[in-house]
Amino acid sequence: MGCLACGPVCGVRARPGRAVGLGAAVVLGLIAAVALGPAPTSSAAPALAAPPPALTAPGWRSVFSTDFSGSALPKGCGKYGGPYPGGATFWDADNVRVSDGLLRIVIEERSQGGLPYTAGGMGCFDHAQIYGKFEWRAKVPVGKGIDSYATLWMARESDEGNESLVEILGVPGDETMAVSNGYGSGMVGEHIAGRYSDGFHTYAIEWLPDRFRVLVDGVQKYSSTRVPKVSKWLGFAVSNGDNFAGLPDAATVLPAEFQVDWARIYAYVPNAPAPTGTVGSASPRPVAAPATVTVAPSGSRPNPPPGGPVDPVTGRPTGTPAWAWLAGAALLVALVAGGLRLAWRRRRMDPLDRGDLP
């Protein structure tokens, strides 16, 4: 029989057991190299990784602005109507009101449609777009079991899974903002503690081709490179009764209001100058039109986001160390190598098998 090319001396046949051990060592070495990265080529400290490429410079062009003057919703916006799927709230057009320069979305303990609570919601359906900056100034009510939120919802039902939400629970001592960022093939997000019900705050979603982020009073609270690519409209609503918001307790005062002072929508224009003027200052308002009642979008709010930070690229919870993956892979290789070696030993013990002779 011919010799093995990898044998130390030609004419000497390498033992299968040693070949298996060598193969296992090679596989382990490859796994370690992948997990730990290349070794430094000199005794000097390895150079730091190059920074990621700069993100696209944002530029915005104003396309919609309302200060909620008068008594009707702005043109192109309408009210929700019907039950909130998965919760204890019925959306009624009468619970969305505009007065004294504020959008007021009221939640109250009033049974309707077989549900114990009545609230409202509205969306600017005619102002859907891909990318942009969505900004609003709002005050959320205090109390358990009241979920006040803004949403970027898909303009087409076929684009389900691309919803984005900024939800706030004003639970005394445990206030939370939950960001959900759907990008079609998955959803990432984070729960962010803070003070939200102590007055009006300015919220913003900046949605760019390479970045999705949420700001509160000009401070970034969430950022992800997972980006939806479908047309969406801005809406506001209140609900409860699901596994995120829960139900009001005895300390929650109802009726309560989610109040929005103003809202702005900007189109994304690459490298355009930033908009000028003071945030929230008076601006030309769209002509008001009678509000229309729109059936609530199917599943108008998804399941709550993960309970902790997630990796913005993979969407998996963070915290799994590299050594854990390496240890698991090494164990698997060892088991396979052991099985092959045992099979070889049994084969050598068979007196009728002379294939091991040189």
What sign for the dihedral angle of Cα 329, 335, 339, 344? positive
Residue 58 CA to its chain's centroid (Å): 21
In a domain, 255, yes or no: yes
Name the residue among 67, 75, 78, 121 with its Cα closest to residue 96: 121
In a domain, 140, yes or no: yes
Q: Tokens 């898909």 map to which residue?
A: 154
In a domain, 324, yes or no: no
> 117 pairs with which residues across the strands?
89
pLDDT in tens, 33-48: 444 444 433 334 333 3
Phi, psi of 159, deg, nearest 5: -95, 25
Q: Is the pLDDT of residue 13 over 80?
A: no
In a domain, 238, yes or no: yes
Give residue 176's pLDDT. 97
Looking at the 3D structure of the chain, how many domains does it have? 1
pLDDT in tens, 87-127: 999 999 999 999 999 999 999 999 999 999 999 999 999 99
CB 91 within 8 A of CB 97: no
Name the residue among 253, 180, 252 with its Cα closest to residue 214: 180
CATH code for the domain in which residue 85 is found: 2.60.120.200
CA distances from 173 to 121, 154, 189, 193 (A): 26, 34, 22, 10
What is the pTM (predicted TM-score) of this model? 0.64
In a domain, 189, yes or no: yes
In a domain, 326, yes or no: no
In a domain, 130, yes or no: yes
> Which domain, by its residues, includes 289?
60-295
Give residue 85's pLDDT. 87
In a domain, 5, yes or no: no
